[in-house]
Chain A
Amino acid sequence: MSINKDTVKYTAALGRIELSEKEIEHFTGQLDKILDYVHKLKKVDVSKLAPTSHVLEMKNVYRDDKVKPSLPVDEVMKNAPARERNLFKVGKIIE
């Protein structure tokens, strides 16, 4: 077993996803199989390897400190599921 139900629950909580018991069960089995497959990477000696997080050999890409127009506030708010005036509205934060 590479992954158990508790790990799936913990990781789903990190990703803020509510799962049903059935889903937890289901995903645990599937993810376990995937991780088993992924374990083939253990065969590789990585001790002397540098990680490649990016393929491009670019550096120092900047923009100048210039102010550009912002979005009109109506455009900002038009997709909001809930709003009060021009502020996004959410429920209570500390429960």
Chain B
Amino acid sequence: MEQEEAGDMTYETVIGLEVHLQLKTKSKVFCGCSTNFGAEPNTQVCPVCLGFPGSLPVLNRDALQLAAKVAIALDCKIAPKIRFDRKNYFYPDLPKAYQISQFGHPLSHHGYLPIFIDGKEKRINITRVHLEEDTGKLFHEKDHSLIDFNRSGTPLLEIVSEPDMSSPDEAHAYLTALKSILEYIDVSDCSMEEGSLRCDANISIRKQGAKELGTKTEIKNMNSFKAVRAALQYEIDRQVDMLESGQRIVQETRLYDAAKDITESMRSKEEAHDYRYFPEPDLVPFDFEKKLLEEIKKQIPELPEPRKNRFIKDYKLSDYDAAIMVSEKGIADYFEECVKAYNKPKIIANWLMGDVSAYMKEQGLTINELGLKVEHLTGMLRMIDAATITGKVAKTLLNNIIKTGTSPEALVKEKGLEQISDTGEIEKAIDSVILENQKMVSDFKGGRDNAIMALMGKVMAKTKGKANPKKVNEILRRKLT
């Protein structure tokens, strides 16, 4: 439990998160309009998603099934009877002035997600996962606003957690773990930039040990996981300051301003939140047959958590390495393919975490987009083992393989990168290095053992990294003693 100390008082934090997730269907949740991102304004709309009078919704089967997939992956119970309700409120981006959502009989409830904080597992309970429709998009100009309804009716999943998190770090860990699962089961683009994943937070503080919850505020407008963490930290500090200075916390919605790193009250003439939910009469009830649920379960791949444990057990990876290997499904799959072709998991993990991931980051590509063939990477690793190339050469070689898509064998041959193990050639290089670096030589002879590393570096440079390092070390030591 993270504690905030202020004056004599210690406070604890209570955080609940509400995640909205756009589901990856081809068409919208209640009509046949495309869900493609980035189309010209109001070109992917029809009477249904515009809420034109007389239009009626018909549920997209895949949307409900993807929603169920998420619910099952989060260990939720799927309700035996699923209904939709209308949530009534006015906002210009909500074309019917009600949102088709779920209230009385939502898709699922009572799930959980494990997170790891300081190596310890903590379960974050999930209140409910339900399906609803997204709203249109508003563009605020100086004295007016403009509306594009392309997004209206995109299937949206609401994942509501219990207020089980007690620090911004836990909230961050929850979101990271959740995103990882969602990517694993391939239900959403999970892009906070494009808005396919959005997060609101409820946060309150209370004196340590207090039973009753403090007054909460709702924080919106956080555009990255980092922003969530920062906004929550700001809000904790603000609430502590308020209480310490004898003020009361007002229950309200606050917007996070990333540029200023503060939260600000929306200060709108907010009307009472009286959503007047009632059963959506334009849709019939839904349920899942056992068989279908089993089928959906089968579509769920091994999730990050169990996969990590298996990696530790089967591949003898450290907890840290395994966690990184499973964090993205693409990497984990790639890793396992590599292990099949080249049975040294630790070495593969090191390369993936090191040079490969650096290259991915630099180019902004995923492992699959990178186009590095499993046989090319493992082939290269084998060439290192066979002493055909040095580890140093391998680093440059990897870049070439990725850039050209050519096999390591062909590249090594073409560029003459084979390791030099010929003693005569190495001796020649060493001799000239000794001649050119008398200072280092005398340092070494004077007892500074690590001066030999510098000399080795010079030899490697002279041979363009191709000299067998083991042999260089041997010969160098022999010649200097």
A–B direct touch in complex (beta carbons closer than 8 A): yes
Give me the interface of A with B, judged by CB distance under 8 Å. 10, 13-14, 16, 53-54, 56, 58-71, 73, 76-77, 84-95
A92–B143 CB distance below 8 A: yes
Given the complex, which residues of B lie within 8 Å of A86, measured CB to CB?
A: 40-43
Our pick among B148, B271, B281, B283 for the contact of A13 (Cβ within 8 Å) is: B271
B211 at the interface (CB under 8 A from A): no
- Given A13-B271, A53-B281, A71-B46, A62 and B58 contact (CB-CB distance below 8 Å): yes
Chain B, residue nearest A83 (CB): B146
Per the bound structure, the CA–CA distance linking A87 and B32 in Å amounts to 21
A-B Cβ contacts below 8 A, count: 125
CA–CA, A14 to B145, complex, Å? 22
The A-contacting residues of B in range 355-385, CB under 8 angstroms, are none
| Binary CB contact string for chain B from 269 to 310 against chain A (1 if under 8 A, 0 otherwise) | 101101010110101111100000000000000000000000
B134-165 to A contact mask, C-beta < 8 Å, 1/0? 00001110011111110000000000000000
Q: Given the complex of chains A and B, what is the CA–CA distance between A13 and B64 in angstroms? A: 34
Residues of A within 8 A of B276 (CB): 14
When distances are taken between beta carbons in the complex, the residues of chain B under 8 Å from A91 are 143-145
B144 in contact with A54 (CB, 8 Å): no
Task: Tell me whether B145 and A92 are in contact (CB under 8 A).
Answer: yes
User: Across the interface, do A73 and B40 meet the contact criterion of CB distance under 8 Å?
Assistant: yes
List chain A residues, Cβ under 8 A from B281.
Answer: 53-54
A63 touches B32 (CB 8 A): yes
A67 touches B26 (CB 8 A): yes
Partner of B44, one of A66, A70, A85: A70
User: For B266, what are the chain A residues with a Cβ–Cβ distance below 8 Å?
Assistant: 94
Cα-based distance from A88 to B268 in the complex (angstroms): 22
CB pair A61–B145 under 8 Å, yes or no, is: no
Bound state CA distance, A73 and B45, in angstroms? 8
The reply to whether A65 and B41 form a contact with Cβ atoms under 8 Å apart is: no
**Residues from chain A with Cβ under 8 Å of B138 in the complex:** 93
A10, A73, A76 — which one has the most chain B CB atoms within 10 A of its CB? A76
25 contacts between A and B (CB under 8 A): A14-B271, A53-B279, A53-B281, A54-B279, A54-B281, A58-B284, A59-B286, A60-B285, A61-B58, A62-B61, A64-B62, A66-B27, A67-B27, A68-B46, A71-B46, A73-B41, A86-B43, A87-B41, A88-B149, A89-B146, A89-B147, A90-B144, A90-B146, A92-B143, A94-B266
Q: Which 5 A-B pairs have the closest CB atoms?
A: A68-B32, A65-B62, A87-B146, A62-B61, A53-B279
B195 at interface (Cβ–Cβ under 8 A)?
no
